[in-house]
Structure formats: C-alpha cells, structure tokens
Chains A and B, each alone.
Chain A
Amino acid sequence: MNSDVLVRVSGLHKSFGDSEVLKGIDFEVNRGEVVAIIGPSGSGKTTMLRCVNLLERPTAGRIEVDSRVLCEELPDGSMSFSKKAEIRAIREHVGMVFQRFNLFPHFTALENVIEAPMAVKGLSRSDAEARAHELLESVGLGHKADSYPLQLSGGQQQRVAIARALAMDPALMLFDEVTSSVDPELAGEILQVMKRLAQEGMTMLVVTHEMGFAAEVADRVLFIDHGLIVEEGSAKQVLANPKNARTRAFLRAVLERAPMAEEGDPAPEPAGSSAPGLSQIVEGSDDVEQ
C-alpha cells in the first residue's frame, strides 16, 4: 500500500472516434511530489488528467493510483476497467479542480463543500460542517460560507472548488488550468492556495499555463505535444534549459503571449539560445507572490 509511487501510468492511449489524442503516455508521480504538465492547446493535457480518475476512459494502457489498478489491458488486447464501486473508492482519494470551477450553483459554498463528505464518506452534518468551515477559512473564504457561487468572483469560486475537493481528504489532487477562466489579477489568490498545499506535502498533478508557478512549485515538469510526453525533467531543466526544440518553441510562445508556432517549423535554433526571460522566471516568480 505505501509504495512511494502514488500514480503510475503506462502506455496510455486515448482516441475520440478516429482521432488519437493520447498516443502512449508513461509517467509516475511519487507521494508528495508536484508535477506540472505543460503543452500547447489541444495537445491532450486535459484528456490525460481526466484519465487519471477515469472521467475519460482510456482506449489502451494501464493506470494505477495508490496501488489500485483503475484499468489495464488484458492479454487479448482488450481493456479491463475496475468495477464502479472500486472506481468510486479510488476517486474518494483523488480530488479534481476544473478550469470552469463546476461548483453546484444551487448550493452555498458551505453546502458545496459538505455534500460529498456526507454522501460518500458518511460524515455527520456537524462534522462535515466543522471541517468545511476550517477548509473555507484556510482558503480565505470563511466569511463566504453562506454565499452562492454566482455571488462570488471567479477566484473565490475556484477556491471554494479547491476546498470542496480537499474535504474528501484526497491523497492526490488534479488541477486542470484552474486559473485560466479567472481574471489575471485573481489568479494569484488561487495559486497562493495551491502553493501552500504543495508545501504541506500534497501530491499534485497540475496542468498549467502559469510558467512562474510551475517553476516555483513543481518538482517536475512534463511537456506534452500531440499526445506524447516530449520532454520531462526537473522544473529548472525543462523550463530554463529545454532540450527539445518543440519545448523551446512552446515556452517562447508562452512568454511572448504569442500564438504557438505551427507544426513543421520547429524553430531550428541552437540550444542555449532559449527564449528570453526564462531564467528570470525560474529564478524568482513574481506571479505567485501578491
């Protein structure tokens, strides 16, 4: 049960109809590790993340979370998925935070946080509420417990969503571009919460476009392009010293907030002349600290 590896993904493939979105992904996440996933739009980051708690069903490959197998290929090549109850048992320990919050709009912040602990873990209302108040407090929203999602800013909604996921006491947290649909000046308050979580030792898999956050918080960075992990390494190495031409092109595009170079012109520059500003980002992030 207590191996150091919390997530083990191998040979992960996913197709939607005829289009193959994931083309053989392998990676592991150790307990307490923060792994950032970066890559161009449409490269398969969201799909990959959603496979980890089986919101998306892989077409091939094996996924193991906390030593429990969610899916694997049988010798005859067909896929075998865990039973529904088993999948739910795993999801209890995997929190997910979405780009568009997905709070329950007819519930208050507090009700959003207590619903699953009560329904799934069988907590009493008073225990669930006590814990929820603690969590809302910890994300700086103690005073918003009785507000409805539409009464909150994007940054506040996302922090409620994080509290909601944490209320299940997850061993692993999945974040999918959780700052992308909030105003840039509100991203900081979300990143702050995530940074503290990381410091507390939470295992996190973070899809992000916030390179500053990746540089400062992530232990490792995976760069995905066209459904494959193209480059993988320590945050410092991948972000400041990318080996792969695609990674370099992507990072430069992100820094310049310019559209991504199209396939087929992989910026034939010598290594070392990587995008300007990268080293500053790795050295000290100004995105995160407010």
Chain B
Amino acid sequence: MELDWSVVGRSWDLLIGGTWVTLQLFVWSLALGTVLGLILALMRLSRFRALRWLSLGYIWLFRGIPVLVALFFAFFVFGRQIGLSPLQAGILGLGTSAAAYKAEIIRAGIMSVDPGQYEAAEGLAMTRRHYMRRIIIPQGIRVMVPTYMSNTILVLKVSSVAVAIGIVELTGITRQLSNSTNRPIELFTAAAFIYLMLTTVLVIVQEILERRFSLKT
C-alpha cells in the first residue's frame, strides 16, 4: 500500500483545531480533578468521620467505574437535564474521574511528610490551616510530583474517550478525516505525533517541578 503523507498537510488545520479541543478538555478537567482531588484528600485526612467516609465513598465510586461510564453520566444526566454543552459535560466527566486518582496521590504525598513537621508547627502555635498550607503541603508536593504527573499524562490521553459523546477533539477529528479520505495510517500517525508532542511537554514540566521542589542539600 502506498502511503500519501500529503493528506496530513491538507488536514493540518483541522487536526490543530481538534488539538485545541483536546487541550481545552485536558486543562479544565485537570484543573477540576486537582482542585476536587485536593478537597477530597483533605476530607480523607479530616478529624470528622463523616467527611472521611464521604471522600472514601467518592473515591470508591469514581475509581470503580470506567471513565466512559462517568462521561455518559455527565452527558446524559447533567448535559441533558442542566443544559451543559458537550464540552462542559466532557470536562465534568473527565474531571470527576480524575479527582478520585488525584485525591489518592495528594493524600499519599501529604501522609509521607514526617510527623515531626506537624509537631514542630503545632509547638510553634501555628494554626492547622496555616501549617498545612505553608509546611505540610509544599513538602508533600515534592513526593507527589512523579505520580501526579504520570496521572496527568493519563488524563491527557484519556480525554480521547470524549469522542463517545460527540466531542470532536483530536482523536475524533482524525477518525472523521480518515473515514472521508481513507488514509487512516497517515492521519493516525500524525495524531500520535501530536499526542507525543503534548505528553513531551508534560514530561518537561515534571522535570522542572522536580527540580523546583527538590530539597537543597
């Protein structure tokens, strides 16, 4: 079979358009997942049993169901009833799923901090709110970065399931183009290349964060 790479050049604008949608899905669901994940992690570490159970229940649920199912829920329940756009429903579905993993990653990071740090902060009469923000979480971040970033790369790639609720992101546009041009190999190679560029950026971000949060010795 002859490969004809010119189809990639002709489709480039559409592929970039799809990439833009992928980026929107990714950035917003990552933001939602991280903020919600932080709240869930703090709830799991709370003194209040009700908050711990609520958080545990959430994590159990969203880790237990496929992302696709969460996505359909977001689309059919929230999209249809509340009137979210498909993109908004996609962000909701992906973000709420990601939050369950982010919560566990953040919790593990926070728990890795030496108990002596809490004691020192308590002994200095700091409020819990203050030392969590200034002492504990910054040290937890150092431990979290590798797992957080691995999961973040996954969030980027998993955003492609949004095609199932009709969002034409990078994977979706590539499929449409390959159907209409009958050039799947060239087009999916191009899509893979674009995904790889995006994930490479994330790998670089990870490297920067690891340096930024490493302890000076």
Contacts and interface: CB of A to CB of B under 8 A. Distances in A.
Contact of B116 (A102, A119, A148, A151): A102
A112 B90 CA distance: 44
A164 interface: yes
Interface in A204-259: none
Interface stretch (B73-81, B120-128, B166-174): B120-128
B122 A91 contact: yes
Contact of A88 (B125, B142, B217): B125
A116 B125 contact: yes
B96 interface: no
A55 B119 contact: yes
A144 to B, nearest CB: 13
A168 B124 contact: yes
Contact of A106 (B116, B119, B130, B138): B138
19 contacts: A89-B125, A91-B124, A98-B116, A98-B119, A98-B120, A104-B117, A104-B135, A104-B139, A105-B215, A106-B213, A115-B126, A119-B134, A120-B124, A150-B216, A151-B217, A161-B120, A164-B124, A165-B123, A168-B124
Most buried by A among B125, B135, B139, B216: B125
Nearest to B214: A106
Interface in B121-163: 122-127, 130, 134-135, 138-139, 142
Interface secondary structure of B, over-half rule: helix
Given A104-B117, A104-B135, A106-B138, A92 B125 contact: yes
Interface string A92-117: 10111010101111100000000110
Contacts of A95: 123
B134 A115 contact: yes
Interface residues of B, number: 21
Contacts of B134: 115, 119
Given A119-B126, A168-B125, A102 B119 contact: yes
Contact of A91 (B116, B125, B213, B215): B125
B130 A96 contact: no
A102 B124 contact: no
Interface residues of A, number: 27
A47 B138 CA distance: 29
B114 interface: yes
Given A55-B123, A102-B119, 9 more contacts: A55-B119, A95-B123, A96-B119, A100-B116, A102-B120, A106-B138, A119-B127, A119-B134, A151-B217
Given A105-B139, A115-B134, A151-B216, A120 B120 contact: no
Interface of A: 53, 55, 88-89, 91-92, 94-96, 98, 100, 102-106, 115-116, 119-120, 148, 150-151, 161, 164-165, 168
A165 B121 CA distance: 11
Contacts of A119: 126-127, 130, 134
Contacts of A120: 124-126
B135 to A, nearest CB: 6
A-B complex: 5 closest residue pairs judged by Cβ atoms: A116-B124, A102-B120, A102-B116, A148-B216, A91-B125
Interface in B32-77: none
